[in-house]
């Protein structure tokens, strides 16, 4: 099973990026093989629809669970329609969030918890 | 002659100027008022037109025939606005993000996408007094893309009429859509530092469109030093100063046009129109 965690950098010790659509990277972890990969978020620099673009990328990569901070309604719609589970891990490091996910300690999210465009800086 | 009345920000008195021009000219010629400030149209509050027609304005957005779709993902890849997402067994569309470019239904290899009409607002038309033909657009709440509605209002331009466009405030796509194609643009500003900054942005937008323009100072204190410096620096003439006037403000609050409070200013607006014409044809 593949898990994606929104990250500000390629360093697993950095805290989870609270913005889903606009984070810089996703840590994509193949839990069965403990294989880590950091992919750039295509939504990070997009003009609009960032969350949808980010979600589409994760769907394409076969991700089954997402750990992040806040998700807007459009991204949540894509992730939910794809059957991808959502979890929040505000303030924790990427590594720690992953560990807690494996131990079933993360809070699941059932829908959007951010306004549209909330991840755009300066708003 | 088509004159757009614009301003870099809202609340500068753009509608006051547009309405006053329309009322002043209506005494001598056929006038058309095109309210393109579709997010917040308010020309009708002062011109009080009798609206006779109301039509929905739509834009094409993709509709998916899931039975033809192979979920190849092509449409989501080509959409520059991320208005589509393709999952293993379904395609999701986000019409509010769609810019109606037509790319997705053009490129779908299975012809699984077809354009379907999405209503974005309404165009209403009628007459304000006998001589002012009135058209405005009203954008539906929650719709973010207004240029197609602005276009629908501008399409109603009558040849032979002196046409006035009330443009949306700002300098982004809607303002550009409203101002482009006009013979002249009036930039309405207030003599404040903030007003000046927005005036500069608006002046640059109009210059980039290759349209001649001039300045109207609203709520002028008679000195307007900074606006005068700006006018010199940019080579844009100050064509009219509307003084700060208690009676005008009181009339505005009651939904009455400036010329109802100060009928003697009619001549000034007629002169303004003539000046615009002169600069535009120069
Ligand atoms: S391009 Fe056409 S066939 Fe491919 S996913 Fe989109 S709608 Fe389906
Ligand atoms: S019409 Fe253009 S903008 Fe709209 S969904 Fe299709 S590709 Fe995207």
Which residues from chain A sit within 8 angstroms of residue B72, using beta carbons?
Answer: none
pLDDT tens over chain A, length 123 residues:
999 999 999 999 999 999 999 999 999 999 999 999 999 999 998 878 999 999 999 999 999 999 999 999 999 999 999 999 999 998 899 999 999 999 999 989 988 887 777 666 543
Q: Tell me if A8 sits within 8 A of A93, measured CB to CB.
A: no
Pocket of ligand 1 (CB under 6 A): B 64, 69-75, 86, 91, 108, 110, 112-113
Q: A residues 75-104 near B, CB within 8 Å?
A: 77-78, 81-82
pLDDT for the residue A122: 43
Nearest Cα residue to A78 out of A110, A57, A56, A109:
A56
Fold identical between B2-49+128-280 and B58-119? no
Q: Enumerate residue ranges in chain B where pLDDT < 70.
A: none
Nearest Cα residue to B11 out of B177, B168, B176, B161:
B168
Q: Tell me if B178 sits within 8 A of B36, measured CB to CB.
A: yes
The CATH fold of domain B58-119 = Alpha-Beta Plaits (3.30.70)
Nearest ligand (C-alpha, residue B66):
1
Burial classification of residue A42, based on how many CB atoms lie within 10 Å of its CB (0-12 exposed, 13-18 middle, 19 or more buried): middle
Nearest Cα residue to B53 out of B132, B121, B124, B120:
B124
Question: What is the CATH number that goes with domain A2-122?
Answer: 3.30.420.130
| Bridge partners (DSSP) listed for residue B20 | none
pLDDT for the residue B108: 97
Mutational pocket test of ligand 1: of B86, B88, B90, the residue with most ligand atoms within 8 Å of the beta carbon: B86
> So what's the ipTM on this one?
0.82
Question: What is the CATH number that goes with domain B2-49+128-280?
Answer: 3.40.50.300
Residue B130 CB: number of other CB atoms within 10 A? Answer: 7
pLDDT for the residue A117: 73
Where do the domains of chain B lie?
A: 2-49+128-280, 58-119
């Amino acid at each position: 099973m593949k898990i994606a965690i929104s990250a500000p950098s390629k360093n697993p010790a950095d805290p989870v990026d609270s913005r889903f659509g606009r984070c810089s990277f996703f840590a994509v972890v193949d839990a069965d093989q403990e294989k880590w990969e950091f992919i750039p978020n295509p939504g990070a620099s997009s003009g609009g629809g960032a969350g949808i673009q980010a979600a589409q990328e994760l769907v394409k990569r076969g991700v089954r669970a997402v750990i992040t901070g806040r998700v807007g309604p459009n991204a949540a719609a894509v992730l939910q329609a794809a059957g991808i589970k959502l979890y929040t891990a505000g303030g924790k490091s990427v590594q720690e969030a992953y560990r807690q996910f494996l131990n079933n300690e993360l809070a699941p999210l059932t829908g959007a918890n951010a306004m549209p465009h909330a991840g755009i800086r300066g708003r | 002659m088509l004159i757009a009345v614009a301003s870099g920000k809202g609340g500068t008195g753009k509608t006051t100027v547009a309405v006053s021009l329309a009322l002043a000219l209506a005494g001598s010629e056929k006038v058309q008022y095109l309210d393109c400030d579709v997010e917040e149209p308010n020309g009708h509050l002062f011109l009080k037109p009798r609206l006779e027609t109301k039509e929905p304005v739509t834009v094409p957005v993709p509709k998916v025939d899931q039975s033809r779709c192979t979920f190849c993902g092509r449409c989501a890849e080509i959409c520059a606005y991320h208005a589509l997402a393709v999952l293993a067994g379904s395609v999701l569309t986000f019409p509010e993000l769609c810019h109606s470019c037509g790319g997705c239904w053009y490129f779908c290899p299975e012809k699984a996408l077809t354009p379907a009409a999405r209503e974005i607002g309404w165009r209403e038309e009628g007459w304000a007094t006998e001589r002012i033909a009135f058209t405005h657009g009203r954008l539906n709440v929650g719709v973010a893309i207004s240029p197609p509605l602005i276009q629908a209002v501008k399409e109603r331009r009558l040849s032979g009429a002196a046409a006035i466009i009330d443009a949306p405030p700002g300098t982004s796509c809607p303002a550009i859509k409203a101002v482009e194609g006009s013979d002249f643009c009036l930039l309405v500003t207030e003599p404040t530092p903030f007003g000046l900054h927005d005036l500069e942005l608006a002046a640059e937008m109009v210059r980039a469109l290759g349209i001649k323009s001039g300045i109207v100072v609203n709520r002028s204190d008679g000195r307007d030093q900074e606006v005068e410096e700006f006018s010199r620096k940019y080579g844009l003439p100050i064509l009219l100063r509307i003084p700060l006037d208690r009676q005008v403000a009181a009339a505005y609050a009651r939904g009455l046009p400036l010329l109802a409070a100060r009928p003697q200013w009619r001549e000034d607006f007629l002169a303004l129109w003539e000046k615009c014409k002169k600069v535009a044809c120069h």
